[in-house]
């Protein structure tokens, strides 16, 4: 299943507006509220925020560590240190920095949201939830809707109805509507909660039997569990409701391919191509079906088209290699296998380490 945890999902250079920064003599005993920070420090904090935003967190962190040594520490420094550390995937240190920012200012909503996000990335959704719940507003500086990550935290702690409400709030749906149930079902499915996703999709249909895409989602859930007869039946129901939805024909073709009914699979995939000519999925699946039908020449034709559309797809090159080998084109087959190895190595190196 696709886990939004890779997500990926979700983007994280959350930059906070720098607060005014006091220097020596700024806390006047007579009237401290009227004392302003020297402009040099204010400009420095703002510049460091821009430095992180431009993709130089390491340089910004060195300068922030110097500001951290000032007494008292200028406002905003701990928060920005957390942002810089987060950008470097140093989540435990980022958590400590955001914790210091919240201790200094318990009303710092962006620091709360960022610490919640950090804890989520650390695999501690239960600790992240109170922080997201306390940060009531969507801070535009964070550039993301905290309802989404809060909903993921609820999902991962099995608070599924709370997750549904949070997802619905993000999209502006009524929390107990059919749309809210279907939305939650799709996102649960993506996180691998198949049983819960199935229950919520079924509830969506109970509330609205004509709801578009609900049968399609039930089909995807059944397909993921290799319940092929159920998947085909659900996809056929969805096709009856949405006859011009190209993705349904693609999924139906996949289900027929897995069940070994290659004639029906080829027909469904050809229909998908007519409706979605710029999607690579049907071309790749057609290549697989034609290979199984011992027609490597036709398979290569579709796979070469898919390769031109998306040259970085490992599956396309793997199937092309098989097609060329079946056609006796050993040199071309070897080239495709070399491409597969390079792409696989690149994918492995890009995998997050956390």
**pLDDT reported for residue 136:** 61
The pLDDT tens digits along the chain (354 residues) read 333 333 333 333 333 333 333 333 323 333 333 334 444 454 577 788 888 888 899 998 988 888 888 877 788 899 999 999 999 999 999 999 999 999 999 988 889 999 999 999 999 999 999 998 887 666 656 666 778 899 999 999 999 999 999 999 989 999 999 999 999 999 999 999 999 999 999 999 999 999 999 999 999 999 999 999 999 999 999 999 999 999 999 999 999 999 999 999 999 999 999 999 999 999 999 999 999 999 999 999 999 999 999 999 999 999 999 999 999 999 999 999 999 999 998 888 766 544
**pLDDT reported for residue 352:** 52
**pLDDT reported for residue 206:** 98
**pLDDT reported for residue 294:** 96
Neighbours of 77 (CB within 10 A): 28
**pLDDT reported for residue 138:** 62
**pLDDT reported for residue 198:** 98
Query: Do 248 and 231 meet the contact criterion of CB atoms below 8 Å apart?
Result: no
Query: What is the helix (H) or strand (E) element at residue 69, kind and residue range?
Result: none
| CA 117 – CA 74 distance, rounded (Å) | 24
Angle made by CA atoms 211, 215, 220, in degrees to the nearest 5: 135
Query: Do 194 and 227 meet the contact criterion of CB atoms below 8 Å apart?
Result: no
**pLDDT reported for residue 25:** 30
The number of helix segments (H) and strand segments (E) in the chain equals 18, 0
Q: Which residue has the tokens 């970085």?
A: 312
* Crossing angle between the packed helical segments 146-156 and 178-190, to the nearest 10 degrees: 70
**pLDDT reported for residue 4:** 36
Query: How many residues are given for the chain?
Result: 354
**pLDDT reported for residue 49:** 85
Provide DSSP, 100-141.
HHHHH-TT-HHHHHHHHHHHHHTT-HHHHHHHHHH--S--GG
Query: What is the helix (H) or strand (E) element at residue 174, kind and residue range?
Result: none
**pLDDT reported for residue 192:** 94
């Amino acid at each position: 299943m696709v886990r939004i945890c890779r997500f990926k999902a979700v983007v994280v250079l959350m930059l906070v507006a720098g607060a005014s920064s006091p220097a020596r003599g700024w806390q006047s005993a007579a009237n401290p509220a009227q004392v302003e920070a020297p402009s040099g420090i204010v400009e420095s904090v703002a510049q460091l925020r821009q430095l992180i935003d431009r993709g130089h967190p390491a340089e910004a962190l060195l300068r922030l560590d110097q500001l951290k040594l000032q007494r008292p520490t200028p406002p905003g420094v701990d928060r920005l240190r957390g942002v810089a550390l987060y950008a470097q995937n140093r989540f435990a240190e980022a958590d400590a920095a955001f914790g210091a920012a919240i201790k200094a200012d318990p009303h710092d909503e962006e620091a709360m949201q960022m610490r919640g996000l950090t804890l989520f990335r650390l695999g501690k959704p239960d600790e992240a939830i109170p922080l997201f719940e306390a940060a009531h507003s969507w801070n535009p500086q964070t550039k993301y809707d905290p309802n989404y990550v809060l909903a993921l935290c609820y999902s991962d702690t099995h608070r599924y109805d709370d997750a549904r409400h949070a997802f619905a709030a993000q999209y502006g749906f009524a929390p107990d509507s059919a749309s809210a149930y279907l939305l939650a079902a799709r996102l649960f499915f993506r996180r691998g909660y198949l049983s819960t996703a199935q229950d919520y999709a079924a509830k969506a249909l109970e509330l609205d039997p004509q709801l578009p895409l609900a049968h399609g989602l039930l089909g995807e859930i059944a397909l993921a569990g290799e319940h092929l007869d159920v998947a085909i039946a659900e996809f056929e129901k969805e096709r009856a409701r949405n006859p011009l939805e190209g993705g349904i024909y693609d999924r139906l073709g996949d289900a027929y391919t897995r069940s070994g009914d290659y004639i029906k699979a080829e027909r469904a995939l050809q229909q998908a191509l007519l409706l979605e000519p710029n999607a690579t999925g049907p071309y790749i699946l057609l290549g697989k079906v034609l290979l199984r039908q011992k027609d490597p020449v036709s398979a290569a034709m579709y796979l070469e088209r898919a390769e031109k559309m998306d040259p970085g797809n490992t599956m396309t090159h793997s199937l092309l290699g098989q097609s060329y080998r079946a056609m006796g084109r050993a040199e071309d087959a070897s080239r495709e296998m070399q491409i597969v190895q390079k792409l696989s190595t690149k994918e492995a190196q890009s995998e997050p380490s956390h």
